[in-house]
């Protein structure tokens, strides 16, 4: 699912101004140039136009936002951990209420227009409609602002293909995950010469074993599950719900203590996913240090060997 398709949500006054402007586009020429029947018809058209315009805009907002029942586990959980879903539902409920209420007011006003016996009465009914609708739209001013904030947050959600075999690249910040992604796939992620931490889920794709494989470079995740920020939460959810295989990177130059890197690996093991251990930056390490580590924990140090092992794990 692409959350980037949700359209920007304007302020309530913006929707109201557009509806009123369109509804009053054809102003009455007064009783000197219209008979009452034509005046009633014009007033009905004006009310219909304003009601239809607001109804379509509010209905579009409601339909654009995802419903939990229609989301897969990854996006369902992502929405829960990055947004207050109860508040989101409440805001959408307010918009739905406004749409129905405006339709009710329009029905009442159209009934009164048909029963009107003077132009003064027609003008009063139209003014009354605009006043009541303005009051309704003011009541959803804050809900619309909340929905726009939610839309902006969802705009940054990754677009994952949950039907593909997926490999998550995991490990601490600055251990070489993004560099590895670029070597395994056709992706050209942002790689810096200085210490740089991925601020989103980077995606890449490769053809292996005759099928398209999805690779996810997860943001550098600290071993602190109780204090995760939103980007770290995305990484955990991707591993938990999307990954078929995890490539866990150890960096023996120890930008983070080796014991902490081991603790993070144990946390990831709890997801019960297939795991391949890869050592980065071995070209600047002493051979005996790499050999000593591999005796304790079997690890791959060569990209070609890593690609072969990933291919063997593809189902």
**C-alpha span between 101 and 132 (Å, rounded):** 10
CA distance 198 to 103: 48
The domains of the chain, with CATH numbers, are 3-155 (1.20.120.1190), 165-313 (3.40.50.300)
End-to-end CA distance of the chain: 24
Q: At 3, is the pLDDT very low, low, confident or very high (cuts 50, 70, 90)?
A: confident
Among residues 221, 42, 233, the alpha carbon closest in space to that of 123 is found at: 42
165-193 pLDDT per residue, tens = 999 999 988 898 988 999 999 765 544 43
Low-confidence winner among 13-22, 97-106, 208-217, 288-297 (lowest mean pLDDT) = 288-297
Long-range pairs for 218-227: beta carbons < 8 A, 24 or more residues apart: 218/168, 218/169, 218/170, 218/177, 219/173, 220/171, 220/172, 220/173, 220/174, 220/175, 220/177, 221/170, 221/171, 221/172, 221/173, 221/264, 222/172, 222/173, 222/264, 223/260, 223/263, 223/264, 223/267, 225/267
């Amino acid at each position: 699912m692409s959350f980037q398709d949700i359209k920007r949500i304007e302020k309530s006054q913006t929707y109201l101004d557009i509806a009123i402007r369109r509804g009053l586009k054809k102003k009455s020429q007064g009783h000197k140039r219209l008979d009452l029947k034509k005046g009633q018809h014009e007033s009905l058209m004006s009310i219909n136009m304003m009601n239809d315009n607001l109804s379509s805009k509010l209905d579009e907002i409601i339909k654009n936002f995802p419903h939990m029942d229609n989301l897969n586990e990854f996006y369902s959980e992502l929405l829960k951990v990055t947004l207050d879903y109860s508040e989101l539902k409440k805001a959408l409920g307010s918009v739905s209420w406004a749409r129905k209420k405006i339709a009710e007011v329009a029905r009442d006003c159209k009934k009164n227009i048909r029963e009107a016996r003077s132009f003064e009465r027609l003008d009063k009914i139209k003014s009354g409609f605009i006043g009541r609708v303005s009051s309704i739209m003011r009541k959803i001013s804050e809900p619309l602002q909340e929905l726009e904030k939610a839309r902006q947050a969802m705009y940054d959600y990754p677009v994952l293909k949950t039907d593909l075999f997926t490999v998550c690249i995991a490990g601490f910040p600055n251990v070489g995950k993004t560099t590895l992604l670029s070597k395994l796939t056709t992706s050209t992620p942002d790689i810096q010469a200085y210490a740089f931490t991925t601020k989103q889920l980077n995606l890449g794709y490769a053809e292996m074993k005759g099928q398209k494989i999805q690779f996810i470079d997860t943001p550098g995740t600290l071993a602190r599950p109780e204090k995760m920020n939103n980007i770290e939460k995305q990484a955990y959810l991707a591993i938990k719900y999307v990954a078929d295989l995890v490539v866990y990177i150890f960096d023996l130059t120890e930008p983070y203590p080796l014991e902490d890197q081991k603790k993070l690996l144990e946390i990831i093991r709890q997801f019960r996913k297939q795991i391949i251990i890869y050592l980065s930056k071995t070209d600047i390490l002493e051979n005996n240090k790499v050999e000593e580590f591999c005796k304790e924990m079997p690890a791959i140090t060569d990209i070609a060997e890593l690609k072969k092992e990933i291919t063997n794990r593809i189902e």
